[in-house]
Copies of this chain bind each other. A is one copy, B any other.
Amino acid sequence: MKHYLDIDDIVSVPALIQEALTLKNLPYAYEALGKHRTLGMLFFNSSLRTRLSTQKAAQNLGMNTMVMNLNNDGWQLEFEDGSIMNGNTAEHIKEAAAVISQYVDIIALRAFPSLSDKEKDEAEQIIKSFQKFATVPIVNMESATAHPLQALADAITITEFQTIRRPKVVLSWAPHPRALPHAVPNSFVKMMQRMDVDFVITHPEGYELNPLITRNVPINYNQNDALKDADFVYVKNWSSYNQYGQICSTDPQWMMTSEKLGMAKFMHCLPVRRNVIVEDAILDGPQSIVIQQANNRTWAAQAVLKNILENL
């Protein structure tokens, strides 16, 4: 692959999962591949798992890493074409992307959405601008609408834990005190459509995700009904897509409980708010696989970086 911006950049999902699992067994097998190569990690937003796991993945491949918090360490960037830059922005993305491309071999980027301007968020201005003006591959470490490294880790985790050929996977909305982006559910939904699973989404009415992404995936507004006989339950909050960025419900009935979970494995991308998204009993019990899921962030990132390095 050239860039890794979204799930669509994956040629074969099963092959990439297999690659990741191989790397998990032999983390240093391709240490020579990244020699004299540098990963530039640019953060516009907070990060824990992504920051550490992607850095680890790069180091496992023998790469150097340089980390920058763009908001604090550097200059405020301008993304509009033709703007007269006499305000707060000090550097245009055209220069920034082209310049950084000369110091690193791959750029990994995190840039959250505004959740106030749907059109702008969907335009993915930051990551698309980097893609356009950089001369090196771009890896999406969570953009306005996609978190494909997370979704790849999710797919690896399901593959590891599935005990039947075609497991039932449920994406179940949960309440949250703050308005959250759609990046994680979007990429998860896209990924599930590339896997051999029985997939259903459940959420309160009004919480429909972008229909261009959910397409033919069944949506069931009855959570208990949707959860029946699930093998994997992926719980996640997102803000409204139709009333863009709004919190339309904080109904605690949608919190995941042991009773609702049944025999299924519990998944979440983390960070997770305990006793708001999910009750303690699940996270502290044997059905939660969130820690293993987070572990797979490293192997997801490493498989992607390896793939990109091989095509440099």
Interface members, chain A 9-49 (any B CB < 8 Å): 27-28, 36, 38, 40, 43, 46-49
Chain B CB within 8 A of A191 CB: no
Q: Max chain B CB contacts within 10 Å: which of A48, A73, A74, A86? A: A48
Known: A48-B75, A275-B82. A291 touches B95 (CB 8 A): yes
In the bound complex, residues from chain B placing their C-beta under 8 Å from that of A271 are 75, 90-91, 95-96
Question: Is A59 part of the binding interface, using a Cβ–Cβ cutoff of 8 Å?
Answer: yes
Complex contact A91–B48 (CB within 8 A): yes
Partner of A274, one of B55, B68, B83: B83
* Stretch of A99-107, A159-167, A201-209, A228-236 contacting B (4+ beta carbons < 8 Å): A99-107
Determine whether the beta carbon of B96 is less than 8 Å from that of A48. yes
By the criterion CB–CB under 8 Å, are A52 and B36 in contact? no
- Give min CB distance, A255 to chain B, whole Å: 10
Interface-centre pick from A51, A271, A276, A295 (highest chain B CB count, 10 A): A271
Q: Which of A47, A55, A298 has the most CB of B within 10 A?
A: A55
Contact residue among B52, B83, B276 (Cβ-Cβ distance under 8 Å from A84): B276
Q: Which of A40, A51, A84, A276 has the most CB of B within 10 A?
A: A84
Q: Is the CB of A290 within 8 A of B104?
A: no
Q: Which of B64, B98, B104, B273 contacts A90 (CB 8 A)?
A: B273
Complex-state Cα separation, A82 to B99, whole angstroms: 44
Residues of chain B with a CB closer than 8 A to A276's CB: 84-86
Q: Does chain B have a CB within 8 A of A94?
A: yes
Q: Is A56 an interface residue (CB 8 A)?
A: yes
Does A218 make an interface contact (CB < 8 A)? no
Report whether A36 and B28 are in contact in the complex, using a CB–CB cutoff of 8 Å: yes
- From B56, B283, B290, A103 is in contact (CB under 8 Å) with B56
Write out the residue numbers on chain B whose beta carbons fall within 8 Å of the beta carbon of A298: 102-103
Q: Mark A155-183, 1 if CB is under 8 A from B, else 0.
A: 00000000000000000000001000000
- Asked whether A47 lies within 8 Å of B69 as measured between CB atoms, the reply is no
**Which of A83, A87, A177, A291 is the most central at the interface, judged by chain B CB atoms within 10 Å of its CB?**
A291
Contacts A94-B283, A274-B78 given; does A73 touch B59 at CB 8 Å: no
**Closest B residue by C-beta to A177:** B86
Chain B positions within 8 Å of A294 at CB level: 95, 98-99, 102
CB contacts (< 8 Å) of A223 on chain B: these are none
Q: Does A291 lie within 8 Å of B47, measured CB to CB?
A: no
In the bound complex, CA of A28 to CA of B38 (Å): 13
Could you tell me which A residues sit within 8 Å of B by CB distance?
Answer: 27-28, 36, 38, 40, 43, 46-49, 51-53, 55-56, 59, 64, 66, 68-69, 72-75, 78, 82-87, 89-92, 94-96, 98-100, 102-104, 177, 270-276, 280, 283-284, 290-291, 294-295, 298
